[in-house]
């Protein structure tokens, strides 16, 4: 008998993934399925472990979206199968989010539901725009309205008389991009002063947030001229004027830029964070995924070795090697008997995190140079060489060492897959205006080619700035028909971030 699962109805915040609550994060960490909406930050989804089943419930790239009844049925089905489900919704689930409908339906079907509130756009969007929701002397109350025109009812449901007289308060409007002209006209017709300060906040809390300031009488026109698109909110009230005294326009180097990051989500949290701090809007679209691999036979053979060389060629190799080593009950004193060779600054950094220094790095960071220089500089007859590796990649090093007489043990510690893009990821890719894409390895390039297909890949890389981590990745990119706009000087993710900043600095000049 399967036990029935549970649904956590979670508010994921308005866009900036940092605005999710600690409690929501805890619930996410314990779930094995996630059903997410369009306005939920992809960062929160792609950083979940691979075992978590993902379902997208928002609009697809072809604009088709699941009906509410289909979403309800999906949640019910997953719960009946015994899953612990994170139902991730933008902002707060109960604020114009149909979370109530989902909760009522699930409860009615005997499913356990726990609601975890979220930071709603009508609060966070204003905060990021420097507009206090209420303010002594200017606004004594706030009214949240939805000004959605379809299915047709809501606009006429609004208490127009009350709203027109709401001059001592703040009106925050959700879903009102299309109806803003009608809303403002009706407020003015009802007696509200045309000079009442007003604002439109587009993509609030995101790196490419934009704020339009005006008056009740002209805000609809201004928003129309600026081509405002959803998601956007409008704010009407005296509090809008306080923005000038609160907001300090920071000159962040990547402000307004959308940067796509192709690195596996589980390894990219720090990069996402750093890019966001520089002002960028991060588009988290991993093109590959990695997973630890247990090579029983290999680890048994490694157990028996009493020294030799450990050869690492990637950060993943290091990370998964130590994970495997510790899982096998390893004792670090054993590793002291080995010399260590590595390529790549990222690899060295990863070794350092485990407290190891590398004994040998080649003069150039390629596997060929490593193979040549290692074999010419050391005696290998009868020496153990443990080549720590993933499932992809070459065997140049193994072949060269064997030829030099070494006893080579290829130890496979991880697997690399092409990431699966669900509808949510495809929709985000189709809709975003991507200013740059970063590739942190050849396999991230290959992954994107496989996901998009050659023709679309070609089209994409011609339309955006391509940032490469180093010469090896750039070569693979060239083989795929692309050309990097800039290559990182230091071949680490920090180096990539510096290159992004440098690229846009030059772009500005
Ligand atoms: N439950 C959500 C609201 C869902 S309705 C919440 O609590 O925030 C969707 C509407 O919310 C959008 O049409 C828009 O008006 C508003 N919205 C959501 N995210 C937004 C954002 N990042 N910036 C501006 N408006 C946003």
Average pLDDT over residues 391-417: 91
- pLDDT band for position 251 (cuts 50, 70, 90): confident
**What is the pLDDT at residue 491?**
84
**Which is catalytic among the residues 6, 175, 260, 319?**
175
Is residue 421 within 8 Å of 345, Cβ to Cβ?
no
- Helices then strands, counting H and E runs in the chain, come out as 22, 20
Give me the pLDDT at residue 248, please: 85
Give yes or no for residue 99 having a pLDDT over 70.
yes
Cα 119 to chain centroid distance, Å, stands at 18
Tokens of 50: 């691979």
Domains and CATH numbers, the chain: 6-119 (3.40.1010.10), 123-246 (3.30.950.10), 258-287+419-508 (3.40.50.10090), 290-418 (3.40.50.10090)
**Contact 8/31 with Cβ under 8 angstroms?**
yes
d(CA 447, CA 443): 6
Q: Where are the alpha helices (DSSP H) in 190-339?
A: 219-226, 243-246, 269-277, 296-304, 315-327, 332-335
Give the pLDDT mean for 296-317: 93
CB of 352 closer than 8 Å to CB of 313:
no
Q: Residue 145 and residue 139: Cα distance in Å, rounded? A: 16
State residue 359's pLDDT score: 96
Average pLDDT, the chain: 93
What are residue 46's phi and psi, to 5 degrees? Answer: -75, -15
First to last CA, the chain: 66
Beta strands (DSSP E) in 286-406 are 288-292, 308-312, 338-342, 384-390
Only one residue has tokens 């070794």, namely 351
Query: Distance from the CA of 232 to the center of ligand 1, in angstroms?
Result: 7
Q: Given this model, what pLDDT does residue 307 score?
A: 94
Indicate the length of the chain as a whole number.
509
pLDDT at 50: 86
Residue 341's DSSP bridge partners are: 311, 360
What's the pLDDT score for residue 64? 78
Instruction: Tell me the pLDDT tens digit for each residue of 432-457.
Output: 999 999 999 899 999 999 999 999 99
Whether 1 has a pLDDT exceeding 70, the answer reads no
pLDDT digits (tens, 9 = 90+) for 181-211: 999 999 999 999 999 999 999 999 999 999 9
Task: Round to whole Å and give the CA distance between 317 and 336.
Answer: 18
425 is catalytic: no
Which are the contacts of 98, defined by CB distance < 8 A and separation ≥ 6?
68
**Contact 20/12 with Cβ under 8 angstroms?**
yes
Residue 343 has pLDDT above 70, yes or no: yes
Range with the lowest mean pLDDT among 63-67, 279-283, 284-288, 413-417? 63-67
Other CB atoms closer than 10 Å to residue 382's CB: what's the count? 9
Residue whose Cα lies nearest atom 2 of ligand 1: it is: 91
pLDDT tens per residue across span 33-45:
999 999 999 999 9
The pLDDT, as a whole number, for residue 389 is 93
Distances (CA, A) of 307 to 70, 199, 302, 383: 59, 68, 10, 8
User: Is 59 a catalytic site residue?
Assistant: yes
SS3 411: strand
Q: What is the pLDDT of residues 115-159, one digit of tens each?
A: 999 999 999 999 999 999 999 999 999 999 998 765 555 577 899
Residue 508: the pLDDT is 59
Any residues with Cβ below 6 Å from ligand 1, and which?
14-15, 39, 89-92, 95-97, 120-121, 125, 174-175, 201, 203-206, 230-233
Query: 211: CA distance to ligand 1 center in Å?
Result: 14
The whole-number pLDDT of residue 255 equals 93
Which structure tokens are listed for 343? 């390529």
- pLDDT greater than 70 at residue 279: yes
Asked if 86 and 33 touch (Cβ cutoff 8 Å), the reply is yes
The pLDDT of residue 305 is above 80: yes
Contact (CB, 8 A) for 316 and 390: yes
Helix residue ranges, H only, 380-492 = 396-403, 423-431, 442-452, 454-463, 471-479
């Amino acid at each position: 008998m399967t036990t029935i699962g549970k649904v956590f109805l979670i508010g994921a915040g308005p866009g900036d993934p940092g605005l999710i609550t600690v409690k929501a994060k805890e619930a996410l960490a314990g779930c094995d399925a996630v059903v997410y909406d369009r306005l939920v930050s992809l960062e929160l989804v792609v950083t979940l472990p691979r075992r978590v089943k993902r379902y997208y419930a928002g609009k697809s790239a072809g604009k088709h979206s699941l009906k509410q009844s289909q979403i309800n049925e999906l949640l019910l089905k997953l719960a009946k199968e015994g899953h612990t489900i994170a139902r991730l919704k933008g902002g707060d689930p109960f604020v114009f989010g149909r979370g109530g409908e989902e909760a009522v339906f699930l409860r009615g079907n005997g499913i356990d539901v726990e609601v975890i509130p979220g930071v709603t756009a009508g609060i966070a969007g204003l905060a990021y725009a420097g507009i206090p929701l209420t303010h002594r002397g200017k606004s004594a109350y706030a009214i949240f309205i939805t000004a959605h025109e379809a299915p047709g009812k809501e606009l006429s449901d609004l208490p127009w008389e009350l709203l027109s007289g709401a001059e001592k308060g703040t009106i925050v409007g959700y879903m009102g991009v299309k109806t803003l002209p009608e809303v403002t006209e009706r407020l003015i017709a009802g007696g509200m002063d045309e000079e009442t300060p007003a604002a439109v906040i587009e993509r609030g809390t995101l790196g490419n947030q934009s704020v339009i300031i005006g008056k009740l009488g002209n805000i609809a026109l201004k928003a129309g001229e600026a081509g405002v698109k959803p998601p956007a909110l409008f704010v009407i009230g005296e509090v809008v004027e306080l923005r000038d005294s609160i907001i300090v326009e920071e000159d962040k180097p990547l402000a307004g830029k959308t940067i796509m990051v192709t690195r596996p989500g589980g390894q990219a949290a720090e990069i996402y964070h750093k890019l966001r701090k520089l002002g960028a809007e991060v588009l988290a679209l991993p093109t590959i995924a990695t997973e630890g691999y247990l090579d029983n036979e290999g680890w048994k053979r490694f157990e028996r070795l009493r020294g030799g060389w450990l050869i690492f060629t990637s950060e993943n190799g290091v990370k998964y090697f130590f994970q495997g080593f510790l899982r096998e009950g390893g004792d670090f004193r054993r590793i002291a008997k080995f010399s260590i060779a590595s390529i790549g600054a990222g690899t060295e950094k990863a070794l350092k995190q485990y407290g190891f220094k590398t004994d040998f790095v080649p003069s150039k960071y390629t596997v060929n140079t490593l193979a040549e220089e290692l074999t010419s500089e050391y005696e290998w007859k009868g020496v153990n060489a443990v080549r720590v590796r993933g499932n992809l990649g070459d065997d140049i090093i193994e072949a060269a060492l064997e030829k030099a007489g070494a006893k080579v043990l290829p130890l496979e510690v991880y697997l690399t897959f092409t990431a699966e893009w669900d509808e949510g990821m495809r929709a985000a890719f189709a809709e975003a205006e991507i200013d740059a894409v970063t590739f942190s390895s050849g396999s991230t390039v290959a992954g994107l080619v496989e996901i998009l297909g050659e023709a679309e890949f070609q089209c994409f890389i011609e339309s955006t700035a391509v940032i490469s981590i180093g010469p090896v990745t750039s070569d693979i990119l060239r083989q795929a028909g692309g050309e990097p706009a800039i290559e990182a000087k230091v071949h680490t993710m920090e180096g990539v971030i510096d290159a992004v900043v440098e690229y846009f600095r030059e772009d500005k000049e």
